[in-house]
Chains A and B, each alone.
Chain A
């Protein structure tokens, strides 16, 4: 029986770090140690919630020195008696040598780094309040890892869902955790089917019914991914053409703010969400929550201010002299509200060409940069969650003010993400999505300012 106390899991992580030649145990080692606890439900829980298996994680991290550990716990693979004897003898030999070394040379085990120490402390707190039995400590460690920011989260698909699922297993869940887990059921079913088929393939081989089934499942997955790529990427490239100047401006602002705050960031999902969303890059060290919040929210706020400024000047000229910025679009309601069958293609181009023809290329691009920035002024759901994760809200830490501010923001951005996902399926024009909210706010603010202008 393998020991699954917290100390044994930490010792396993230390072993991994030692074998890999690392000086300290990071949260990545700890997560691998949980993934390697194969006779507990937690590795399966990780895989079911979209995270990686131990083997995939080793491949992802390129930890080739640990590759020989990858298949060691699979009981379904039978080996010959000769190899069994060789393995027992060899492992006994290495065990003796290791014991000898430890005693004689006092070979130091890698120490836990700061983040890992925090995670272990957090796991102890979770374990003490858990209602689960023997393997609670490993589960608590997984929960602590899923609710702690760091590079190890790259091995998990959605740490938010995983942490809710683990909370449920440990008996630490509340209604909102259960809701999140429940909403994840379609993905869970898909992953379970795929894992079930993969298990069958591992037992019966690819040249079986299981192999055909898995091949079909993988083909369907690849096909839907391809369709998604075909729909989303050209849409971002061409349908959001008028947003490109704003995107360039926003990226510059984002990079400048991150550099000023001393953070290394990158932009993810730019092909999917206008403006993409910020993600932390660099060493994976923990960053102060306030700086991270500033790095995420300051560019968004700047974008909103730019949008208001652009609307003020456009409305000022429009109201005093009747100069219309987008004459084609606003004289063709069928394009603006999506009645025209080709409005999805024609309207973005009309916005772009109107701006360029009305004010010339340079001024038109400049104005589009300002006006379109309003669309980019909403933080995404993941960005708000990143702030919450770094402030430690999921584990009951962080300031009350931050919690008060970010909880409704997370709910709001989550709702926006849902609306955003549903509207295109209902043939809604892309301009009537949630992006119209900050634009409307900017326009209202601009109208109030224009009334105060001198002439």
Chain B
């Protein structure tokens, strides 16, 4: 744009000064608004004193095994601060310790969705530690996986992105097999294990990790020796799978079904 096209009464310097003045006003107005919002947000996130007191009372009651009082206190916290993950975790502990595992898992799931990090959340007291027995990897807040204690490779696999190689797929399928066998879902476990075997990449170390994952009790139940063929790929387990397969996977063909 040529300079002569502007109003002749206002020189270049004048136009620049006018622009700078307006720019300063805009910056100051926007900055003041942001500062006001900042102060407002700080004031509004000051923790509720009553909620903090109730939280403390809930923890004390949990330690003292007064589960009803603890539940009441944690519910009180949630009424004042619905996003409190500590209160949700406390409720999960209360329910788990009183045997309501379904309710415990629901509370735990809600707490996880609100950003609870299990490894940092401490214990439920009474020797019950969620994070030791339960590893939760949340991808897209959609799926929860449970991996057993002492299986760091599996935890890593759950955290990492699949590489889609036969070895990686075999290991991931064996996680499913392990979890299913531990949950007494032998037919599902056989299906996972058979699919893993179909990848053709099960090494001795993979097998050893799988057996570690199964744990002593499950291995004893399955009468496992040193190889998968001795306990997993048996005719009885296969027969169980084939019997239940139409109910479990009504339409989908599997590698294991051949």
Contacts and interface: CB of A to CB of B under 8 A. Distances in A.
A252 B31 CA distance: 4
A399 B195 CA distance: 75
B81 A323 contact: yes
B5 to A, nearest CB: 15
B151 interface: no
Interface in A370-407: 370
Interface of A: 245, 248-256, 259, 264, 281, 306, 309-310, 313-314, 316-317, 320-328, 330-334, 339-341, 358-359, 362-367, 369-370, 455
- State the 8 A-B residue pairs at the shortest beta-carbon distance, nearest first: A252-B31, A324-B115, A327-B115, A366-B41, A322-B86, A366-B37, A249-B34, A322-B85
A369 B161 contact: no
B117 A321 contact: no
Contacts of B87: 321-322
Given A251-B27, A321-B77, A323-B84, A331 B37 contact: no
Given A251-B27, A327-B115, A320 B35 contact: no
Interface in B90-114: 112-114
Secondary structure of the B side of the interface? Answer: helix
Interface stretch (B46-54, B61-69, B221-229, B244-252): B46-54
A317 B87 CA distance: 13
B39 interface: yes
A331 B143 CA distance: 12
A323 B41 contact: no
A455 B52 contact: yes
Central interface residue in A249, A259, A326, A455, by most chain B CB within 10 Å: A249
Contact of B45 (A254, A281, A313): A313
Contacts of A313: 42, 45-46
A333 B37 contact: no
11 contacts: A252-B34, A255-B27, A306-B38, A327-B114, A328-B115, A331-B115, A331-B141, A332-B138, A363-B44, A366-B36, A366-B42
Contacts of A256: 28, 31
Interface size class of chain B, counting residues whose CB lies under 8 Å from the partner chain: 35 or more
A365 B112 CA distance: 24
Contacts of B187: none
A281 B20 contact: yes
A321 B81 CA distance: 8
A250 B28 CA distance: 10
A364 B38 CA distance: 9
Contact of A255 (B24, B49, B81): B24
A362 B37 contact: yes
A117 to B, nearest CB: 24
Given A313-B45, A327-B114, A331-B112, A321 B86 contact: yes
Interface string B4-31: 0000000000000000100010011111
A370 B161 CA distance: 34
Contacts of A310: 38, 41-42
Contacts of A340: 161
Contacts of B55: 320-321
Given A313-B45, A366-B39, A321 B84 contact: yes
B40 A255 contact: no
Given A313-B46, A314-B45, A323-B83, A248 B30 contact: yes
A333 B135 CA distance: 14
Nearest to A358: B83
A320 B116 contact: no
A323 B49 CA distance: 14
B159 A341 contact: no
Nearest to B121: A322
Contacts of A317: 45-47
A364 B41 contact: yes
B52 A324 contact: no
Contacts of A331: 112-113, 115-117, 138, 141
Given A334-B159, A367-B38, 8 more contacts: A251-B30, A320-B47, A321-B55, A334-B161, A340-B161, A359-B44, A362-B37, A364-B41
Nearest to B48: A321
Contacts of B52: 320-321, 455
Given A255-B24, A313-B42, A333 B34 contact: no
B32 to A, nearest CB: 6
B38 A369 contact: yes
B35 A252 contact: yes
Contacts of A328: 115, 141
A323 B161 contact: no
B89 interface: yes
A239 to B, nearest CB: 20
A313 B112 CA distance: 22
B139 interface: yes
Contacts of B44: 359, 363
B165 interface: no
B205 interface: no
A324 B161 contact: no
Nearest to B43: A313
A250 B32 CA distance: 10
Contacts of B42: 309-310, 313, 366-367, 370
B159 to A, nearest CB: 7
A27 B41 CA distance: 49
Contacts of A369: 34-35, 37-38, 41
B115 to A, nearest CB: 3
A328 B117 CA distance: 11
A367 B41 contact: yes
B46 A330 contact: no
Contact of A252 (B28, B138, B161): B28
A388 B174 CA distance: 64
A281 B112 CA distance: 51
Given A322-B86, A322-B116, A253 B45 contact: no
